[in-house]
Structures are given as structure tokens and as C-alpha cells.
Structure 1
Amino acid sequence: MADVAERGQRIVREFLRRQGEGDGTPSPDPLNIGNAFMEMTARLMTNPASVVQAGIGFWQDYLTLWQNTARRMLGGEVAPVITERRGDKRFKDDAWRENEVFDFIKQSYLLSSRYVTNVVHGAEGLNPKTAQKVDFYTRQFTDAMSPSNFWLTNPEVLRKTAETGGENLLKGLSNLLSDLERGHGKLRINMTDESKFRIGENIAVTPGKVVYRNALMELIQYTPSTETVLKRPLLLLPPWINKFYILDLRPKNSFVRWAVSQGHTVFVCSWVNPDETLAEMGFDDYMRLGPYAALEAIEKATGERQVNAIGYCLGGTLLASTLAHMAKRKDDRIASATFFTTMLDFEEAGELGVFIDEEQLQAIEAKMSKRGFLEGSEMADTFNMLRANDLIWSFVVQNYLLGQEPFPFDLLFWNGDSTRMPAKMHSFYLRRMYQANDLVKPGGIELDGEALDLRDIRLPTYVLATREDHIAPWKSSYKATQIFSGPVRFVLAASGHIAGVVNAPDSGKYSHWVGTEDAPADPAEWFEHATEFAGSWWPDWHRWILGHDRSTVPARQPGEGGLPALEDAPGSYVKVMAGD
């Protein structure tokens, strides 16, 4: 307890010191939540009958719950008034069903959550953006108030407390203080045992060499594992919101290793983790120093002018922008393009749109103006909120209430290895693409002297979306089929933004849907007529690549072509942590 007191005082001092570093008083409502809920309340006041009706339904259900609980305590069998949604891990402990008291607590919470949600949804006439924000933060509130998040109402925590004599709570407090220390006074939840992972040792271990480097990226060429390789090299453009090694986590689920084994000469852009010196790097700089620079380097390294290219998420947005730019200049060095969970039309941007309004953008830009970049942890917090029960509250219970040490999990290690965003680039991306949706407008965005039109893209494209994507909703990704002028193959994978993409054939997980090449305008119509196939989509993509060019050449060793090897993969840029 003395250690707790001493650490607590130190954390408070650090927090207050950091608060004093700002030049102005921070906004009491930087997310602009208050105005959204005030507008909702005003709408509800114009139709009080809907609120009354929702209240009557709630109390009728609550009375039934009381009666059912009393009957259960007397030995009767009753059906639940309300049940949690399928797959809700918060109530996996058997006591939530078998113990009358905890079953009552759980159902009371579910009824209350449904009531609050119904009232919010009953506000008619709200602006769609306001309605989305109110719905999102209402869900954040109801998720936070779950009885599973409090030790007095969580049967698993109470059982652990009794078994350990409260040691779990003291250990949990120590974990909480450690996370506050890591965040310098701001809570930074530790999701995994980071000490168990070393980049280049047990993460990102596919053999290769860095063959090119500039201010924004290192280009990695991977060592072949076949005697011959496809003539066209493969260029991967990952997002720079996170590190590239999501595509090279472990040998058994590494897309990079698998592509090498299929005979691709794989090149990956490993983006720098920018600091204040790169504050003025814009989206056009990422285009010039990213794909354009990579194409020149690949030609020097292999002698090949044309490549197959893949863009993942923001990397896909960059790839499409580059292809439109290349079309203006009659540059055909990219022969085929693949897009992983990429949005080009941001009209329906999903729940990330909650964070894109003028007030919040101004708050973000104010932060970036002081540092020259957006902290990676702030981006990570936003993404975690989209899946709060899985990525926030489950760890609150495990780490702080049960007092458990985080389990070593490679995907969560990568998730916590966040990267910064240069101020100029990030402001452009949020305002011109997310807020104004200019990328999809012909001539709406100009990069490096060319007005872009995505309809100029006529090369073969493979568009992959994931059905449960909370970052790039699949129906938004589908819109690419109606934008590009060339042949498009659209494939929908099961699961989400990461698991649906990083799904090796040997895993035997998930499935994917393939439709006709002539994609209808309505994604629901496409899905209705699509065919579901078991397992990974990776082999389907590889067959698609081979359908365009099967030519092979002797395997190319990195460093033996026109570019010397600078260092071993995964290079230096990827090892720079956000706090370095």
C-alpha cells in the first residue's frame, strides 16, 4: 500500500505537469457530445408520447422480471425476459444464468440498456450525423455501465476475491498504476505481455533485406523460397496508421511468407514512425516517396518495369490515388491492383464518422499544431472505442478486477504498437476524404499537379472487403466496383478488418463470398447471388494474379540486383516505437 501511495502521487504530479504544457484551456467537450445530446433531447420533447411509450414498456418488462425472479427463488422454471446477444463474452460465467441474483442483475442491465437505446432511437428528425453520434456514445455509456465491469456485481470477480483474500484487487490496483505510469498520467491499458515479443526475432521474421530507404519509408525485398518466381514483382502498401508487420506476424499466418512461397518477389513499404521534423509531409509526399519511389527502386532491383500492387486500408486509398495520378501521366507500371478493406467513397464511413465533424477536427488540428503530429495512442484509442467491450472493458475486468497479468498475444502486441500521423497529411486525409469526400469526385483532389479521377483507373483490380469490418464497412468498400472503369473482382471475407484479411489457408477459419464479375450497383443484391466458399480467400487471389500473367524467371536474391542490401529485414523504421 505504501508503494501504491508513492506511485499514485508521482502519477498525479506527472499528469498535472503535462496538463500545464498546453498554451490554452482545453475544451470541456472536445468530442462535441453535449450539442448532439441537447439536439436529441429537444427532438424528444416535441414527441413526449414516444418517451412515455418506451417507459411503459420498460416497466412492464421490469415487473415481469421481478415476478420471474421470485418464481425462480421458489424453485420454479421460467424463461428469461431478455437475453444477451449471441457471442456476448461479458456474461460467459455460468453464475450469470444459474444464480438467481446475478441473473436478475444481468437482465435488469439488459432491460435498462434496451430502454435507453429505444428512447434515443425515438428522437425523430435528427441530422444523420448527429443521430449516429448520439447512438454511438449511448452505446459507449451502456457498455461502461455493464455489471460485469464492477467487482460487487461480477460473480467471477467476487469468487476470485474470496479465493485470494482480496489479493486480486490489490494486484489489479498495481496493474492500474502501472498503466497510468506507462501513459504518463493517462490510462494506457496493457493488453498483452509486450516483453514476450521482439520485432525481427519472433515477430516479422520472414527473411529479407532493406534495399531502399528515404525519409518516409524503407523498402524491404524478401528472400525467395522457390527456384523460379513470377516475372512481375509484388508491391505491398500497408497503412501507415499501424506497422506493416500485421502482414508478417508469425510464419503460420504471414501473408508475406505465404506470397513468397507462391513464387512472388515480394516488396513491402515499411513506413517511418514520424516525429515533429516530418510535420509538413503531405499526402502527395506519401505518394511520391511511397509507391512512386518504390516502383523506381523495384525496377533497379529486378529489372522489371511492371508490378502487381496491393494496398491495405489507408495504403489502398493511397494506391488508388496513385493509380489515378499515373493514369493522367500515361504511366502503366502497375499492371494489377488489389485493395484490402479500402474505402474510396467515404459517404458511409461507418462509426469512424462519429469522430469527423468540424469541432473535433479543430481539436485534433490544435493538438497536432503543438507537436507536429498526432500521437499514435490517440488513434489507437479511437479504434478501440469502436469495439469497447472487446478492446477496453474486457481488459479492465481481467487486469484491474481479477488482477491477472496480460496474456502474450501477437495481434494485440501489434495493435498496441501504434504510429504517429504527420500533421499536414492527417489533416488533409480527415478533411478532404472523410469529411468532404472529395476523392470520389472527379477532379475533387489534386496531388502533385494532377486533378485525380478514380474513373480513369482501367487496370484489373481485386477488391477484398470483410463482412464485420468496423473500420471500412464492406458496403462502402464495395463502391469501388462502381467507380473503377476496368474489370473488378469483388470478394467478401468473413470476420473483421484484421482477422478477415490475415487468414492463412492452413488455419481452416472463416469463409469468403465470390460473385459474378459484373457487379450490380446494390451490394445487397451482389451478396444475395454470391457463392460462399469455405476457408481463406488467399488462393482465390493468387489464381486471379496468375490469370493475368504466369510468366516466371529465376528467383531473385535481395541485394544481388541493381540495389545493394542496406540491412536485414524488418529494417529500422518498424522498430521505432511511438514513445521513442
Structure 2
Amino acid sequence: MRDDDLTNTFDAMFAEPLKLWDQLVPSGVKQGELGEWAAALQTMQALWLEFAQDQAATLAGKAPAMLTDPGNWLGIYEGWVRALPLTRPEVQQKLWADGMALWQTVLGQYGIDGKPAGEAPELPRKDRRFADPKWREQPFFALVHQTYLMLAEQVLALADSVEGVDPHQQDQLRFAARTLVEALSPAHFPVTNPLVLERAIATKGQSLAKGMQHLLADLKKGQLTHVDPQAFRLGENLATTPGKVVYQTPLFQLIQYSPTTDKVLETPLVIFPPWINRFYILDLSPEKSFIRWAVEQGVTVFVVSWKSADETMVDLTWDDYIRAQIEAIDTVRERLGVKAVHTIGYCVAGTTLAATLAVLARRGEADKVKSATFFTAQVDFEQAGELKVFIDDQQLQVVEKLAEEHGYLDGRYMATTFNLLRGNDLIWNYVVKNYLLGDDYPAFDLLHWNGDVTNLPAKWHRQYLTELYRDNKLVVPDALSADGTPIDLTRIQTPAYIQAGREDHIAPAASVWQIMHHLRGERTFLLAGSGHIAGVVNPPAAKKYQYWTGPAEAESLAEFIAGATETPGSWWPHWIAWLRGQDSAEVPAKGKRVPGEKGDKVVEDAPGSYVKAR
């Protein structure tokens, strides 16, 4: 392209955005539309004034502050970013040279009138965030997003190339760099997002007003909203599987579900969900409910519903959760008059279940548990993934500071941490939809659950981060103890079913695999498609994803995958066949198998009150 052509295209590049911008200011608005734009601006002004008044009350101590940074997370993050060598002359020279080459390549796709030279410009970089054709119709927006993608590549490469840091610091630097480039996407700024500009023009500013309403509401509650908060009600369209709370302690409620088959397996199932989230991830809408499905397979199902931490739980430690699991197992055994139970532990509750089994084995009580199923659970944290970037002395001090006032960690901080691991999907995607486009909130049960946070006991949380994540003591025989009993995972002979998610970013499959090296009983490993949640919550009727089974003698996850067989669809039928293989004896579904009947004293109907407490 000749210099004069490049200049003409450069001028044309800004012509269309300036036209769009002219329509967003009074001088460019049609006379009849001035009132509608004025109304939108007045709405935004009123919202902002109301928000400012609320924040004044917060600063005066009349409301809980959520807009501050009490743990100095931003200070820690800033320290990570500063390690990037962006100021080096050779780095800046490369950025400049690559930028000029990119500009020529992009502008060469357009004529001097700013229109694409062909049917559709062939831009060098692709990203699903910029898949809409409007990002390519005008050279300005094409150049903006292509330049961003080039810079993102270079920043991430710089993070990989930094020398003189230990592996943990390198991981922190990579995470910081990725988070930085995700945040700075041109899609997140109104004047550089053609979809936002077009929506604002079409709605005469109402989309911006609605987006501001969403933004300020989220700032006030200290949490990003993903779904319509009025769309779901526990016991009405979520967690609707019929059952009763049959036992209650200050830490948990025990729910027993009513049978739907004439006969049931003699050995009942006790499910331990993670207390980091609400238990109804396994009892979403009826068509997605693992609990309802298991009941329909002829299993007597019990589920522990953990209490979200409050000021009364300041002294709770990991020992209390291990004792609670043993208490739930014993309660079910006594209630139904059975010798043993099947168990499931999901995520951190699976980690705890392994410790519980080790304690029972040491005490000579291993026969209380007939089998153990682990959903995306880690016991060996050497390869625990990106969550480890948040584990060092400085950040542990942050956690202590956040929890010191009430003795528990506010669940909103933990939710933000998990969302950052998938920032584009769980944060920035909704920033664009909710705040910039002013979209209505969708009704999506899984995302509703994701935002239904729980608080964590401070002492236990620090113990978990230091002794397991940082120091990896659980896999060292007798390095830890619970309730006075040393923990040695190699004593566990209980048959185990171990499920991992191939795309899991919270409990990576390679990390979950490590449990195969520490247990000593019969072990079955299954790799499911998708991640930490969708990889587990995958009902057969959905016909989604797939799973892999492989040789039991594999020494590593890579060796397992190399010899694995892929099966389309849900892994749930594979699991129920395995469970029946442990003990297929059945009994009539009557008596104590039907909670609340024939004088059976219960606490309340499922899903209980603990899961509803906020």
C-alpha cells in the first residue's frame, strides 16, 4: 500500500466511529430524540446520586463496606505486573515494529473509502470475543481489536520469558499478565466496542442507563450478578427432589430423599458436597439433578447440607468437618440399621472424605464405608493448578485480615477468586452484557448456584490453604491428624471411584489423578468431558460431552489417556453400574426408607433451612 493510500485509509478509518459518536451527543441527535436522550441521562444521574449517598453511609459505618480493598489485593497484583519487562528498550522497539506491520496488514484489507476491499477482510488474529462481523466492517474497530490481540500475545510471551524467578512466582506472573490483558480488551470500553455504540444509538441511551443500574447495584452488593435474581426459588424450581431433613447439628443438616422405586439398594448413599458452595449443585432443576436421578436408580440417598459460616463458627477447624462426616455416616447406619454406607465427596468434601476414611481405617472402623466416590477431589496438591498463585505468606495474611473481624471469610471474595480463573467467561462476558449493552439478566440455574455464595470459617480456611495447598501434608503419612488420630492415606482399602474433569481449572485432572498413588484399595478412574461443574452435572438425557475409561494399571494420567476408551454422553450410568457392582443386594422401599412416615420424627422438609440462610 502506498503512503498516500495508507493516509486516506487511516482517515477513513475514523470516519465511521466519529459518525457513531456524533449520534451519541446532542449535536448529532435528531431533534425529536433529544427528550429521550435527556431522560436516559437523567436516569443515570439519579442512579449515581443514589449510589453516592449509599456509599457515604457506608463510609460513615452505617452499612457494610464492599468497595474498599481491605486485603490490599490490588497492591499484590500491582507487584506482580511490575515484574513484566515492558519498559525495556528492546521490548518497546519490538512492540512498535510489530504494531506498524500489523497496521499495514489490517489497513491493506480496506479501500480508501474505509470499506472492506473484498467480501470479508482476512485479519491475522481471531478470537471469539470479536466474532461479531461488526468488529471487521470498519477499519477502526478491526485495527483496535487486532492491535489488542497482538499486544496481548506479546505481554503473555513476556510473562513466560522472565528470568530469575522461582516457579511459583512465574505462575503468579503468568496469571497477572493474563488477567491484565483480559481486563484491557477493547470490548470492555463503550467507545471501542461497535456493538455497544450501536445498541446505545438504537435505544437512545436507555441501554447505557440500564447498564449503569446493573453496575451500581452490583457495586452495592459487592458481587457480579450473572442471572436474574428473582428467577429461582429453592424448593420451588431448584432443589425440588422430595425429602426430609432427618438430623441437624450446628454445622450441618442431613437430608434423606424419598424413594421412587419399589426396591432400593440395601446399602444407602451419603453425599458430602463442598461447603464452599451450596449442596444443590447436585439438585438443580429436575432434569439436571444428580440426586433425583440417583433416587430413580433405586438408591437411598442422604445429602449433607452445610451451614454457611457465621460468628458462632469462629473456632471451627478441619477436625470438625471430619467429625461431621463420621457423625453423618454413623447417623445413617443407625437410622436404617445397616452396617455400612456408600459415600460421595465432591471437591473439598472429597479431600475431607479421604481424611475421614484414613481416620476410620486407623481406628479399625473402615467397614463403616462400603465404597467411596470422589468428584473432582484432590489429596495431593503438588499440581493443584492456578489456585496456587493465591497461596503465599503475603496472601495468607490478606485472608487473615479479611476474616479477622467476624471470624469467617466472606464468600464473595472466594467467588471472585474462582471467577478470575475463568475471567473472560465469568467476569468480562457479563461486564459487556450487563453493564455496556444493558441486557436483561438470563434465567440460568447453574449460574444462579454459582453466585449463591457461602462463608468459610477463618481458622479452617487458613489450615486448608497452608497445610494442604501450600505444604501438601495430606499425602505425608501421619503428618496431619484429626480428632487425635493420625492420617495416613495409604491405610485406605475402601473401593474408590475417582472422577476428574478434563477441562477442570479448579481441580486439574492431573492433580486429581494423584489420588491413585495414595489409596491401596480397588480403584477406578474416570475422566469426564468438560470441567469442575459441567463435568459432574451431566445427566444422561442431555446427551452432552463424553467420558474416558482406561487401564487400572496406568502409572500416570498421560498413560491412562493413551490407553483410554472414549464413550459419548454422561458417565452417570457407568458410575451406577460400578456402585451396584460393590453390592447389588436390594430391600423393599418402606419403613425408615421413607422419611417422615409412620411416626418418623423429622426436622423439616427438604431442602431445609441451612441452604436458604444468607
**TM-score normalised to the size of structure 1?**
0.92
Q: Which residue number corresponds to residue 219 of structure 2? A: 180
Q: Equivalents in 1 of 2:157, 2:304: separation in Å?
A: 47
**How big is the shift at 1:28?**
4.6
SS at match of 1:135: helix
Asked if residue 162 in structure 1 is aligned to residue 206 in structure 2, the reply is no
Asked if residue 574 in structure 1 is aligned to residue 574 in structure 2, the reply is no
Asked if residue 559 in structure 1 is aligned to residue 559 in structure 2, the reply is no
Q: Which residue number corresponds to residue 519 of structure 1? A: 554
Asked if residue 80 in structure 1 is aligned to residue 155 in structure 2, the reply is no
Q: Equivalents in 2 of 1:241, 1:528: separation in Å?
A: 34
Q: Which residue number corresponds to residue 569 of structure 2? A: 535
Pairs within 5 Å for 1:174-573: 174-183=213-222, 188-289=223-324, 291-331=325-365, 332-520=367-555, 522-555=556-589, 556-560=593-597, 564-573=601-610
**How big is the shift at 1:412?**
1.1
Q: Equivalents in 2 of 1:222, 1:276: separation in Å?
A: 31
Deviations 1:235-275 (A, max 9, x none): 10000000000000011010000000001000000001121
SS at match of 1:489: strand
1:16 to 48, 56, 59: 59
**How big is the shift at 1:58?**
4.1
Question: Who wins on radius of gyration, i.e. which is larger?
Answer: 2
Is contact 1:297–1:563 with CA below 8 Å preserved after alignment? no
Q: Which amino acid is 1:357 matched to?
A: D
Is contact 1:237–1:269 with CA below 8 Å preserved after alignment? yes
**How big is the shift at 1:80?**
2.3
- Tell which deviates more after alignment, 172-181 or 533-542: 172-181
Deviations 1:459-512 (A, max 9, x none): 110000001111001100000111111111110111110001000000010000
- Tell which deviates more after alignment, 69-78 or 526-535: 69-78
The change in CA–CA distance for 1:72 and 1:37 in structure 2 (over 3 A counts) is closer
**How big is the shift at 1:5?**
4.0
SS at match of 2:308: coil
Deviations 1:529-556 (A, max 9, x none): 1111100000010111111111000012
Is contact 2:80–2:176 with CA below 8 Å preserved after alignment? no
Deviations 1:160-185 (A, max 9, x none): 011111111112112222222323xx
Pairs within 5 Å for 1:133-144: 133-144=172-183
Deviations 1:177-196 (A, max 9, x none): 2222323xxxx221111111
Is contact 1:40–1:126 with CA below 8 Å preserved after alignment? no
**How big is the shift at 1:288?**
1.1
Is contact 2:71–2:402 with CA below 8 Å preserved after alignment? no
**How big is the shift at 1:17?**
3.3
The change in CA–CA distance for 1:70 and 1:369 in structure 2 (over 3 A counts) is closer
Q: Equivalents in 2 of 1:338, 1:563: separation in Å?
A: 29
- Tell which deviates more after alignment, 362-371 or 111-120: 362-371
The change in CA–CA distance for 1:565 and 1:325 in structure 2 (over 3 A counts) is same
**How big is the shift at 1:375?**
0.4
Q: Which residue number corresponds to residue 33 of structure 1? A: 77
Gaps of 5+ in 2: 1-41
SS at match of 2:582: coil
**How big is the shift at 1:11?**
2.8
The change in CA–CA distance for 1:270 and 1:21 in structure 2 (over 3 A counts) is closer
Q: Equivalents in 2 of 1:37, 1:146: separation in Å?
A: 17
SS at match of 2:109: helix
**How big is the shift at 1:427?**
1.4
The change in CA–CA distance for 1:324 and 1:249 in structure 2 (over 3 A counts) is same
**TM-score normalised to the size of structure 2?**
0.87
RMSD: 2.2
The change in CA–CA distance for 1:439 and 1:562 in structure 2 (over 3 A counts) is farther
The change in CA–CA distance for 1:19 and 1:147 in structure 2 (over 3 A counts) is farther
Q: Which residue number corresponds to residue 139 of structure 2? A: 100
Q: Which amino acid is 2:163 matched to?
A: E
**Aligned residues between the structures:** 559
- Tell which deviates more after alignment, 387-396 or 64-73: 64-73
Q: Which amino acid is 1:546 matched to?
A: R
